[in-house]
C-alpha cells in the first residue's frame, strides 16, 4: 500500500528562483522574479469580482480573450477549448502565455504576448495541424511541449513560444493518449501522463540535452511504494497497431486517468481525475506517495482534479474539471484551500493555470465559459 502522506521537504525560495531563471530565454533577467506568494494565505479572504468570480481580496481579474473573437488589440482570433498553458519571459522584459486548444476541429497552440508593464499587445499561433491538444509542459530550454489527446496515436509537439520556429513532432515520446509533461531540469528527463482509466506513467530520457530526437521511453512499474522503469520499444505502435502502448508490459503501474503534471525541486506532482487524487514522486528515491485523496482528505473540496501548477513558494495550484469550477491550492500540509471560483459556468472546466515569470499574475482559462466559448483570464495577485 502507498503511504497517504509524505514528509514534505521545505521548498526553498532561492531554489525555486534558480529553477525559474534556468527556463528564461537569452536576455531575460532573473531579477524579474518578485517575492513569492504564500497562496493559501492569499486565498483566506475573498471578494466577488464583477466578472462573475470570487477571488482573493486585493487581487484583480482581467478577461484577456474569448474563443471565436479577435484578441483585443490584435487581428488574431482566439482558439476554442483553451486548455493547458505556460508562461515564458522575453528578452524585452515582458512575457508570453501559451495556451493549447483541445478542439477536434482545429487544435494547436496559441500565444499571448505582454510588455514589461503587463500590456497585452500581440497574439499568434505557434502550432497548427494537430488536434485535441490538451495539456503539456515547459522545458528548461524555453520551449513548450504540447500533448495531443486524440487516442492511441497521439503525439507530443515541441513549440517555440516566440513563434519564430516551426513546431516539431517527437514520436519517440510515444504514441498514446497524452495529457501532460514535466521536465526535470537537472537530467532533462520528461515525465508523461496518459489520460485513460487504466493509463500509465512514462519517462523519456534524451541521449543529449535539449534534444528529443533520440532517447529512450520507459514505463513505470510499482515496486511497493517506489517506481522502477522498464524500457519500451516500438513506442509508436508500428509493429502491432492493435495493441496500445500501455498494454505492452503487463506489470506497468496503472493510474485512473492521468492529468496534469508539474516539476518541483526533487519531485514531480501529478493528478488523476477519475479517483480525485494528487500524487508526488520524489525523483532522488523514486518514492511515490498520495498527497491528496478526496476520500481521506480533511478538506475534501477538490474534485475533478486536472491541470496543475506550482508557485514560487512551492504551493500546488490545481484546476477543476467540473467540480465547483475552482482553482484550489494545496498548502504545506496538503490541505485544500479555494483560490478562485467561477460562477454560472457549471458546464465548463478550468484549465491552463500558469504564473507569470515574476510570480505576480496567474493565467488560466474556462474552456466553455460563455455559450461554449472559452474565456482566458489573468489574475493579478495582491502586492
Give every residue of the chain whose pLDDT is below 70, as ranges. 1-36, 238
Cα–Cα distance between 138 and 98 in angstroms, integer? 10
| CATH code, domain carrying 187 | 2.120.10.30
- The dihedral over CA atoms of 342, 343, 349, 353, expressed in degrees to the nearest 10, equals 0
* Cβ-contact 241, 185 below 8 angstroms: no
What's the domain range around 224? Answer: 13-380
pLDDT of residue 43: 94
The domain total for the chain is 1
pLDDT of residue 20: 35
Cα–Cα distance between 357 and 203 in angstroms, integer? 26
Task: Give domain status of residue 7, yes or no.
Answer: no
pLDDT of residue 10: 30
Closest Cα to residue 373, out of 142, 165, 77? 77
* Cβ-contact 100, 352 below 8 angstroms: yes
Backbone angles phi, psi at 313, to 5 degrees: -90, 0
Task: Give domain status of residue 203, yes or no.
Answer: yes
Task: Give domain status of residue 4, yes or no.
Answer: no
pLDDT of residue 35: 52
Task: Give domain status of residue 298, yes or no.
Answer: yes
User: pTM value?
Assistant: 0.91
**Residue 119 burial (10 A CB sphere; 0-12, 13-18, 19+):** exposed
- The 3-class SS string of the chain reads CCCCCCCCCCCCHHHHHHHHHHCCCCCCCHHHCCCCCCHHHHCCCEEEECCCEEEECCCEEEEEEECCCECCCCCCECCCCEEEEEEEECCCCCEEEEEEECCCCCCCEEEEEECCCCCEEEEEEEECCCCCEEEEEECCCCCEEEEECCCCCCCEEEECCCCCCCCEECHHHCCCCEEEEEECCCCCCEEEEECCCCECEEEEEEEECCEEEEEEEEEEEEECCEEEEEECCCCCCCCCCCCCHHHCCCCECCECCEEEEEEECCEEEEEECCCCEEEEEECCCCEEEEEEECCCCCCCCCCCEEEEEECCCCCEEEEECCCCCEEEEECCCCCEEEEEEECCCCCCCEEEEEECCCCCEEEEEEEEEECCEEEEEEEECCC
Task: Give domain status of residue 5, yes or no.
Answer: no
pLDDT of residue 240: 73
pLDDT of residue 250: 87
Task: Give domain status of residue 124, yes or no.
Answer: yes
Task: Give domain status of residue 200, yes or no.
Answer: yes
Task: Give domain status of residue 6, yes or no.
Answer: no
Amino acid at each position: 500500500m502507498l503511504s497517504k502522506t509524505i514528509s514534505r521537504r521545505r521548498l526553498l525560495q532561492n531554489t525555486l528562483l534558480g529553477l525559474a531563471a534556468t527556463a528564461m530565454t537569452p536576455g531575460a533577467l532573473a531579477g524579474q522574479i518578485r517575492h513569492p506568494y504564500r497562496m493559501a494565505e492569499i486565498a483566506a479572504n475573498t471578494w466577488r469580482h464583477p466578472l462573475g468570480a470570487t477571488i482573493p481580496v486585493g487581487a484583480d481579474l482581467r478577461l484577456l480573450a474569448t474563443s471565436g473573437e479577435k484578441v483585443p488589440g490584435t487581428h488574431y482570433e482566439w482558439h476554442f477549448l483553451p486548455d493547458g498553458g505556460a508562461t515564458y519571459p522575453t528578452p524585452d522584459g515582458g512575457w508570453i502565455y501559451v495556451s493549447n486548444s483541445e478542439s477536434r476541429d482545429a487544435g494547436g497552440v496559441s500565444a499571448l504576448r505582454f510588455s514589461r508593464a503587463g500590456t497585452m499587445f500581440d497574439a499568434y499561433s505557434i502550432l497548427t495541424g494537430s488536434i485535441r491538444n490538451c495539456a503539456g509542459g515547459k522545458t528548461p530550454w524555453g520551449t513548450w511541449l504540447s500533448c495531443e489527446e486524440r487516442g492511441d496515436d497521439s503525439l507530443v509537439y515541441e513549440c517555440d513560444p516566440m513563434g519564430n520556429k516551426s513546431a516539431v513532432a517527437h514520436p519517440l515520446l510515444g504514441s498514446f493518449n497524452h495529457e501532460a509533461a514535466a521536465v526535470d531540469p537537472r537530467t532533462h528527463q520528461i515525465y508523461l501522463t496518459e489520460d485513460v482509466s487504466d493509463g500509465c506513467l512514462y519517462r523519456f530520457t534524451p541521449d543529449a540535452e535539449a534534444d528529443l530526437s533520440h532517447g529512450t521511453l520507459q514505463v513505470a512499474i510499482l515496486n511497493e511504494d517506489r517506481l522502477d522503469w522498464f524500457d519500451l520499444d516500438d513506442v509508436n505502435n508500428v509493429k502491432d497497431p492493435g495493441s496500445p502502448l500501455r498494454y505492452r508490459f503487463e506489470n506497468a503501474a496503472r493510474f485512473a486517468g492521468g492529468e496534469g503534471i508539474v516539476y518541483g525541486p526533487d519531485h514531480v506532482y501529478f493528478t488523476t481525475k477519475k479517483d480525485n487524487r494528487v500524487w508526488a514522486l520524489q525523483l532522488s528515491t523514486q518514492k511515490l506517495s498520495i498527497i491528496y485523496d478526496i476520500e481521506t482528505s480533511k478538506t475534501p473540496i477538490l474534485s475533478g482534479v486536472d491541470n496543475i501548477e506550482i508557485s514560487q513558494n512551492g504551493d500546488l495550484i490545481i484546476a477543476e474539471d467540473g467540480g465547483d469550477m475552482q482553482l484550489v491550492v494545496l498548502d504545506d500540509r496538503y490541505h485544500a484551500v479555494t483560490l478562485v471560483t467561477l460562477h454560472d459556468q457549471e458546464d465548463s472546466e478550468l484549465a491552463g493555470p500558469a504564473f507569470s515569470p515574476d510570480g505576480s499574475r496567474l493565467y488560466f482559462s474556462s474552456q466553455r465559459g460563455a455559450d461554449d466559448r472559452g474565456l482566458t483570464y489573468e489574475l493579478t495577485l495582491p502586492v
